[in-house]
Amino acid sequence: MRERLVLARRLAPIALILLLAAALLAGPGIGRWDRDGVDAVPADALLARIDALPPGALVLVAFDPDLTTYAEIRPAARAVLETLTGAGLRVAIASFSPEGRALGAAELARLDVAATPLDLGFIPGGEAGLVSAVRGIVGVAAAGPVADAIRAGGGGLAAFDLAIVIGGGDIGPRSWVEQVRPRAPELPIAGIVPAVQRPQLDPYLASGQLAELVAGPDAVAAMVGPDDALDRRADAVVLGSLATILVLLLSGLWPHLARRRPASADADEAAA
């Protein structure tokens, strides 16, 4: 009996959060999350930068998200891939991390567009790989108009007009600012990252080392545009945050509350 009680106590907070999230996803929505209040400036700035590129401009998507945080930025990553391929730009995709390569290959496989991006594959070496990519990123086997255009521009990262780094892991916008920007200063670097990376990247945006930064669920929602499923998820996250804070507060207060129980309650429990 006592074991069951312990298990029930242990599962109660988790069950509460799961049930709340499921109810919000399946229910009519509570509208706690206000789409009109979202700061759309970062997403609009990135989309405007893409719009301003001349037809046929070369854009590199560095696909290096983290498996554990990719779900947060997945809608923005897909939106940017579809925008780029739909805008008549010449797009290439490369990964500098094994996880990024797995996710990038999966996204390329599901991308249903006429102008498929050039797959530059996995470039090994982490930050050393980034440095080598500045000199040359196209393999000898790569063929087609996009590969030829990169070779005509020198074969390295400087051939591109824009680099969009989809980050989340060790290799991300910070690595690009540290390793690529000093070697290819003319290449604008934009980042799409989960909220947890925003504090370390905001200073790069303020100093101009990063051209654009889309970070966190709000910016992702602004990037995607009206989407009922995304709004429901945002609702669930808002309520989930409140429930988690409540659980944390209760778990912090519980020892104090338990200590103040009357002595008779302890005696009854011992007798039982």
Q: Which residues bind another protein (CB under 8 A)?
A: 7, 10-11, 14, 17-18, 21-22, 25-26, 68-69, 71-72, 74, 78, 98, 101-102, 106, 110, 121-122, 124, 126-128, 131, 139-141, 174-175, 177-179, 181-182, 194-196, 198-199, 203-204, 206-209, 216-217, 229, 233, 236-237, 240-241, 244
Tell me how far, at minimum, the Cβ of 50 lies from another protein, in Å: 22
Other Cβ atoms closer than 10 A to 98: 13
| Minimum gap (Å) between residue 42 Cβ and another protein | 16
Nearer to another protein, 115 or 195 (CB): 195
Q: Which of 211, 195, 129 is nearest to 162 (CA)?
A: 211
235, 24 Cβ separation under 8 angstroms? yes
Query: What 3-state DSSP class applies to 234?
Result: helix
Q: Supply the minimum distance, in Å, between the C-beta of residue 39 and another protein.
A: 15
How far is it, in rounded angstroms, from Cα 2 to Cα 174?
A: 51
Tokens matching residue 252: 């912090």
Element (H, E) at 212: strand 212-215
Least separation in angstroms between residue 166's CB and another protein is 15
Q: Name which of 149 and 193 has its Cβ closer to another protein.
A: 193
How near is the Cβ of 142 to another protein at its closest, in Å? 10
Q: Which residue in 171, 219, 170 sits closest to 192, CA to CA?
A: 219
Of the two residues 53 and 142, which places its CB atom closer to another protein in the complex? 142
State the Cα–Cα distance between residues 206 and 211, nearest whole angstrom: 9
